[in-house]
Amino acid sequence: GQQLNQSPQSMFIQEGEDVSMNCTSSSIFNTWLWYKQDPGEGPVLLIALYKAGELTSNGRLTAQFGITRKDSFLNISASIPSDVGIYFCAGQGPSGNTPLVFGKGTRLSVIA
C-alpha cells in the first residue's frame, strides 16, 4: 500500500527559529494535508493543498505541494512556544474516495 515518510521524527529548536519538515511518498497523491496535534487533543487541520506546485500560507505556516506530486513540505517561521506539538502530513491518492494515508509525525519542541 501507499506509504508516507515524514522527517524529521523530532526537532528541538529555540524560540524564534524557523522550522522545516517534509513528507515523501512512494506514489502520487492528489491532495496533501498538514495537521497539528496538541498534547491530549485530536489532530487539527492546518493547511490543505490540492494542486501540484501549490504554495499556501496560514499565518506563520507555509506548505507546498511538490511538483512531482510525491512530496510536500511545511515551514513554520519565527517559532513560538505554542507551536509545540506533533505535526502530521497526510495524502490522498488519485482514486478520490480512499482513506487518507498519514505520516508518522514530527514532534516539535520549542525552547524558550
Partner 1 sequence: NAGVTQTPKFQVLKTGQSMTLQCAQDMNHNSMYWYRQDPGMGLRLIYYSASEGTTDKGEVPNGYNVSRLNKREFSLRLESAAPSQTSVYFCASHPPPEQYFGPGTRLTVT
Report the interface residues with partner 1, using CB under 8 A: 1, 30-31, 33, 35, 40-45, 48, 88, 90, 92, 96-97, 99-100, 102-105
Nearer to partner 1, 60 or 104 (CB): 104
Instruction: Give the Cα separation of 11 and 36 in Å (integer).
Output: 14
Judged by DSSP in three states, 80 sits in coil
C-alpha cell belonging to residue 39: 498534547
Q: How many angstroms separate the CA atoms of 64 and 60, rounded?
A: 14
Nearer to partner 1 (CB atom), residue 82 or residue 95: 95
Would you tell me how many other CB atoms lie within 10 Å of the CB of residue 72? 28
Pick between residue 44 and residue 80 the one whose CB is nearest to partner 1.
Answer: 44
Minimum separation from the CB atom of position 74 to partner 1 (A): 16
Task: Give the nearest distance from C-beta 63 to partner 1 in angstroms.
Answer: 14
Residue 83: all three cell numbers together: 507551536
